[in-house]
Amino acid sequence: MNTADHGALPLHAPRKLKMATVSLAGCFGCHMSFLDIDERLLELLEHIEFDRSPLTDIKTIGRCDIGLIEGGLCNAENVQVLREFRAHCKTLVAVGACAINGGLPAQRNQRDVGQMLVDVYCSHRGTASGCQVPNDPELPLPLNHVHPIHEVVHVDYFLPGCPPSADAIWSFLTDLLAGRTPQLGHGLIHYD
């Protein structure tokens, strides 16, 4: 690959690609890094159209070319959203440590979830007598463990980092949009 071409979007794409993003069990840091590509967002928007994304506030997902998933799976709703993304996206990308290996939310995997909920809602100092663990059908059912997304669906690409830098995201997307296999060079992967 010619390094002069790396980092440049194709000049004339046949059509805009549809891209969707979602944050599951994570901190939203990967979306913040995505926004940190700054003015390059304008160039990106010449080649993509956003579908479901916190950036558009669209809540449902249509057919998409690229789906970016940040965060792992900590509850039943996360699993449902992930499966919906996989069904609607041609290419699915696990973005960041939480999507790839569970990240910080997976630290709870060492504890019993039921006991943890009792400790937080009923046994914690300052809780009122007679309190109970919330049990409302509107609340998603917590999973016993936080899982990376590849344990539930097929993932096409992994974009590591915590979070991946704006430059790593830009490099990854420019490769993907140009039809190249994304490759992150030295210095683009880091964990803060």
**Is the pLDDT score of 6 beyond 50?**
no
Report the first-to-last Cα separation within the chain, whole angstroms.
30
DSSP states of 19-77 as a string? EEEEE-BS-SHHHHHHHTTTTHHHHHHTTEEE-SBTTTTB-S---EEEEEEESBEEEHH
Phi, psi of 64 (to 5 degrees): -130, 155
**Is the pLDDT score of 64 beyond 50?**
yes
pLDDT bucket at 5, cuts 50 / 70 / 90: very low
Tokens of 156: 């096409």
pLDDT in tens, 89-112: 999 999 999 999 999 999 999 999
Q: What is the pLDDT of residue 2?
A: 36
**Is the pLDDT score of 129 beyond 90?**
no
State mean pLDDT over 133-155.
95
State mean pLDDT over 82-86.
98
Query: Cβ-count burial of 158 within 10 angstroms (0-12 exposed, 13-18 middle, 19+ buried)?
Result: middle
Q: What is the pLDDT of residue 56?
A: 86
**Is the pLDDT score of 79 beyond 80?**
yes
| CATH no. of 17-110+142-177 | 3.40.50.700
Q: What is the pLDDT of residue 9?
A: 56
The answer to whether residues 157 and 93 touch, using CB atoms and an 8 Å cutoff, is yes
CA dihedral 35→40→44→45, nearest 10 degrees, is 80
Give residue limits of the domains in the chain.
Answer: 17-110+142-177
State mean pLDDT over 26-32.
94
Q: How many percent of the chain have pLDDT more than 90?
A: 74
State mean pLDDT over 138-144.
94
The answer to whether residues 93 and 159 touch, using CB atoms and an 8 Å cutoff, is yes
Q: What is the pLDDT of residue 13?
A: 53
